[in-house]
Structure formats: structure tokens, C-alpha cells
């Protein structure tokens, strides 16, 4: 009997799911973070191997019992980076005298999309530290909107909201703009008393930009004008993402799943976004993800098997 493995490779932890070829889940295992752009290929190879080996051993299986492995991980959005991890891991397996080639790497957003709609058409809007949108049409074509990174993109993300919050505070400390509750909250949390303190915290102490989001949201709840302006601008940016995806997929009704702490959890930002979607986008339906991202990886693993059979 043959099996599949789907892996959700996160920045803080990695989840491995084992199933049969009919996608009946047999077991789930968790391991260390596996973002290879952060930890390097060598270290991530060891972590993935350790996690898979532990899952196989637990179920009295070996690599030879597997038909395919698919990992969706942060950092694999570009084909060259994904291919680097794929080749590196296969080489690592060879060093262990394991001959297994049906190992594939895709982005974490890709497996989230597959999981959210159980492999069927739909779209996901992700807004966490960064932002991106993926969609799938009836012909199984994949479309992307956003995902240009913090320097030229990531609108509507934690980083973008946080950066604007810090910018507002810097202007107030410099005497260039109106007062905002954001400044007081930043000063209290990070023990900042002056513009110099803020500069040092951001550029020398590597202050977590996205970590400012809760402070912006807190200020907005207090009806702070500057904070509410930031929320209005950033939710507008996500509306632009949705409109662009709707046009690309060319579906009468676009189903979207909201993923990421900022828009998935209930808060003033997510409430504002949902109200705008309801008011401005009548042909949009928000749905909860049907399956977890790791299951999405399993779906792609089964798809690889089918493609090989059709060659």
C-alpha cells in the first residue's frame, strides 16, 4: 500500500500529515520551523527529514512506502527558490542512501488555497505580516495578486499598518503633524521618550514593525483620527486586491477565504474590511477554509501522482 505526505512548513513550526492515496488522514506530526530562507537549506533539510522519519517510524513505514511528498513553505513563492529546496532535499536523501525523487516544493499560500476550497475553485486573501492573494479558476489555472514584499508592496498587511503607525508617531515627535494616541501607546510600550529613542528602537534594536498593529487598532477603537485613517487606507488596499482577483478569475460570484491574524480574527480592522466588502462588492462571498493547509499539500501530492500516471 502506498501513502502521501503533505507538509505545511511554517516560520514557527512545521506540520506533517500522512494519508493513503484516497486522502484518508492516518497521522499528523509537528516539528520545528522550516523556512529555508531564514534557517538555510542544510538545517531545513535536517528538520524536514527528522519530521518525516518520525512520522513514518510511528506508523511502521519507510520512504519506499510513499508515492509523493509535497511541502508548502514560506520562501518558496519563486520557482528558483522552490527548486533549490527540492534539489537540496533530494540530495540530502541520497546522502542517507534513500532513493526518493517525488518530492515537490510550493509556496505556503499555494497549499492554503488548495486546503481552503478542497482543491476546487476559489480565492484566498492573506494578510499577516505581509499580504498576497491567490485564486483558482474552473480550468485550475492559478492567479496571484500582490505579494511584492514590504519594500514595494504588502499593502493591507501588518508590516504596512505598523510602518504607517510608526511614521505617524515620528511626525508627531518631530512636530510635523497632529497628535495621535498611537504615539502615546508606542512611547509606553517601548519606553520611548524622544525622536532619537524611536530611531534607535527601529534601526538599532530591530523593533518589530508588524508588532505595532495592536497599538494602531487600540488607538482606532478610541476613535483616534490618525489610526482610523490608517485602517481606512489599508482596508481599501485589500479591497483593490479583491477587485483585481475578481477580474482575473472572471467568475460571477467570487468565493474568498480570509487568512492571517489581522483579517481572520475579529477586530476593528477585519470588521471594517468585511463591511466594505459587503457594501462595495456584492458578488463576493466570504467563506471559512474547508481544510487546513497541510491537507492542501496532500491534494497537490495526489495530483502529482495522477500527472505521472498520465505521462
**Cell 486522502, residue located:** 23
The answer on 191 and 99 residing in a single domain is no
- Report d(CA 254, CA 245) in Å as an integer: 9
Region 228-247 average pLDDT = 96
Predicted confidence (pLDDT) per residue in 191-215, tens digit:
988 898 999 988 998 888 989 999 9
- CB distance 61 to 3 below 8 Å: yes
pLDDT single digits (tens) 156-188 = 999 999 999 999 999 999 888 889 999 999 999
CB 114 within 8 A of CB 257: no
Same domain for 165 and 95, yes or no, is no
Q: Report percent pLDDT > 90 for the chain.
A: 66
pTM: 0.83
Q: Are residues 142 and 271 in the same domain?
A: yes
Answer whether 2's CB lies under 8 Å from 67's CB. Answer: yes
**Which of 34-43, 148-157, 275-284 has the highest mean predicted lDDT (pLDDT)?**
275-284
Residues 183 and 296 in one domain: no
Distance CA 20, CA 3 (A): 4
Distances (CA, A) of 226 to 152, 199, 209, 240: 23, 21, 17, 21
**3-state class (DSSP) for residue 90:** helix
Number of domains in the chain: 2
Angle at 215 between CA 214 and CA 217, to 5 degrees: 65
Q: What is the pLDDT of residue 309?
A: 57
134 shares a domain with 272:
yes
Domain that holds residue 244: 123-286
Assess contact for 186 and 192: CB atoms under 8 A.
yes
What integer is the mean pLDDT of 254-277?
93
pLDDT confidence of residue 56: 93
Query: Are both 282 and 296 inside the same structural domain?
Result: no
Q: How far is CA 3 from CA 16, 55, 230, in A?
A: 13, 12, 48
Shared domain check, 144 and 54:
no
173 and 263 share a domain?
yes
Same domain, 113 and 129: no
Regarding whether 104 and 64 lie in a shared domain, the answer is yes
Model confidence at 310: pLDDT above 60: no
- pLDDT classification of 95: cutoffs 50, 70, 90: very high
Are 230 and 83 in the same domain? no
What's the CA gap between 309 and 311, in Å, rounded? Answer: 6
Mean confidence (pLDDT) of the chain: 90
Classify burial at 266, counting beta carbons within 10 Å of its beta carbon; exposed 0-12, middle 13-18, buried 19 or more. Answer: exposed
Helices (H), the chain: 36-39, 41-58, 79-95, 108-116, 149-152, 158-173, 181-190, 195-203, 213-221, 225-249, 261-264, 268-280, 293-310
Task: Give me the pLDDT at residue 311, please.
Answer: 37
Q: Is residue 140 scored above 50 in pLDDT?
A: yes
In three-state form (DSSP H/G/I as H, E/B as E, the rest C), the secondary structure along 51-66 is HHHHHHHHCCCCHHHE
pLDDT band at 308 (very low <50, low <70, confident <90, very high): low
Across 244-269, average pLDDT: 92
Res. 74: pLDDT tops 60? yes
Cβ(131)–Cβ(160) under 8 Å?
A: yes
User: Quick one: pLDDT at residue 114?
Assistant: 93
Yes or no: say if 157 and 131 are a contact pair by the CB < 8 Å rule. Answer: yes
User: With 70 as the cut, is the pLDDT of residue 86 above it?
Assistant: yes
pLDDT digits (tens, 9 = 90+) for 99-128: 888 999 998 889 999 999 988 999 999 998
CATH number at residue 212: 3.30.420.40
Angstrom distance (rounded) from CA 298 to CA 13: 18
Same domain for 103 and 251? Answer: no
Rounded CA-CA distance 269/294 in Å is 28
Amino acid at each position: 500500500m502506498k501513502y502521501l505526505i503533505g507538509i505545511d512548513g511554517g516560520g514557527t513550526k512545521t506540520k506533517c500529515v500522512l494519508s493513503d492515496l484516497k486522502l484518508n488522514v492516518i497521522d499528523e506530526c509537528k516539528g520545528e520551523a522550516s523556512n529555508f530562507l531564514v534557517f538555510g537549506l542544510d538545517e531545513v533539510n535536517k528538520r524536514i527529514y527528522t519530521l518525516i522519519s518520525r512520522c513514518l517510524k510511528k506508523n511502521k513505514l519507510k520512504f519506499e512506502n510513499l508515492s509523493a511528498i509535497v511541502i508548502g513553505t514560506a520562501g518558496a513563492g519563486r520557482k528558483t527558490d522552490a527548486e533549490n529546496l527540492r534539489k537540496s532535499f533530494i540530495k540530502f536523501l541520497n546522502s542517507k542512501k534513500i532513493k526518493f525523487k517525488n518530492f515537490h516544493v510550493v509556496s505556503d499560500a499555494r497549499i492554503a488555497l488548495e486546503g481552503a476550497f478542497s482543491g476546487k475553485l476559489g480565492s484566498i486573501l492573506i494578510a499577516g505580516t505581509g499580504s498576497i492573494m491567490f485564486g483558482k479558476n474552473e480550468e485550475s489555472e492559478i492567479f496571484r495578486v500582490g505579494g511584492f514584499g514590504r519594500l514595494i508592496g504588502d499593502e493591507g498587511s501588518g508590516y504596512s499598518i505598523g510602518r504607517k503607525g510608526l511614521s505617524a508617531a515620528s511626525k508627531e515627535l518631530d512636530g510635523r503633524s497632529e497628535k495621535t494616541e498611537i504615539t502615546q501607546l508606542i512611547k509606553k510600550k517601548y519606553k520611548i521618550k524622544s525622536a532619537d529613542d524611536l530611531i534607535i528602537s527601529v534601526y538599532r534594536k530591530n523593533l518589530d514593525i508588524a508588532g505595532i498593529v495592536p497599538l494602531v487598532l487600540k488607538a482606532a477603537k478610541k476613535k483616534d483620527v490618525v489610526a482610523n485613517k490608517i485602517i481606512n487606507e489599508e482596508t481599501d488596499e485589500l479591497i483593490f486586491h479583491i477587485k483585481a482577483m475578481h477580474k482575473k478569475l472572471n467568475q460571477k460570484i467570487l468565493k474568498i477565504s480570509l487568512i492571517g491574524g489581522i483579517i481572520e480574527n475579529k477586530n476593528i480592522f477585519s470588521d471594517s474590511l468585511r463591511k466594505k466588502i459587503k457594501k462595495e462588492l456584492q458578488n463576493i462571498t466570504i467563506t471559512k477554509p474547508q481544510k487546513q493547509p497541510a491537507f492542501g499539500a496532500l491534494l497537490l501530492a495526489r495530483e502529482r501522482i495522477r500527472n505521472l500516471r498520465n505521462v
